[in-house]
Amino acid sequence: MKKRLEQRIKDAICEEISIVPYNPEWPILFDNEAEFLRFKLPESLIKRIEHFGSTAIPGLAAKPIIDILVEVSSLAEAQKQIVPLLESEGYDYFWRTDTEPAYAWFIKRDAEGKRTHHIHMVEADSKLWERLYFRDYLRKFPAES
């Protein structure tokens, strides 16, 4: 029996996550995933793909999960076309309505079930794009981190 969305989100949020020293391979892991997404997903829906969050800031300790922000031209179309594609590749999918604005969230895991990537799909006008200001600031002023 499939768990309800609320329980799946609660379970995902409660998973243990640790903070580890910066890993210089994180940008490479992002590049590889971005390349895979551009190859696998409908070109007409995918716009920007950005590495954000702590793993996007050189030298910063972080949870070892690559956060990726993907601009889609339509969340409704992403739900129809992208969700089945990524679920068939083993990604967990959540329609996040517990945040404002709502968005599509995917979790990629390794062979042991540990999270490796979070993919956040939003439209161009989403407030989530503001998170790039934090990343860009710390990249420009590394002494602040």
CATH number at residue 126: 3.30.460.10
Is residue 77 scored above 80 in pLDDT?
Answer: yes
pLDDT, position 20: 96
Domain range enclosing 68: 5-144
Is residue 1 scored above 50 in pLDDT?
Answer: no
Query: What's the number of domains the chain is made of?
Result: 1
Structure tokens at 82: 């992208």
Tens-place pLDDT, residues 20-65 = 999 999 999 999 999 999 999 999 999 999 999 999 999 999 999 9
The whole-model pTM stands at 0.89
Taking the C-alpha atoms of residue 8 and residue 41, their distance in angstroms, rounded to an integer, is 24
CA dihedral sign, ordered 106, 110, 113, 115: negative
Provide CB contacts within 8 A for 126, sequence distance 6+: 101, 103
Three-state SS string across 60-98, please? CCECCCEEEEEEECCHHHHHHHHHHHHHHCCCEEEEECC
CB 34 within 8 A of CB 85: no
Looking only at Cα atoms, what is the longest distance across the chain?
50
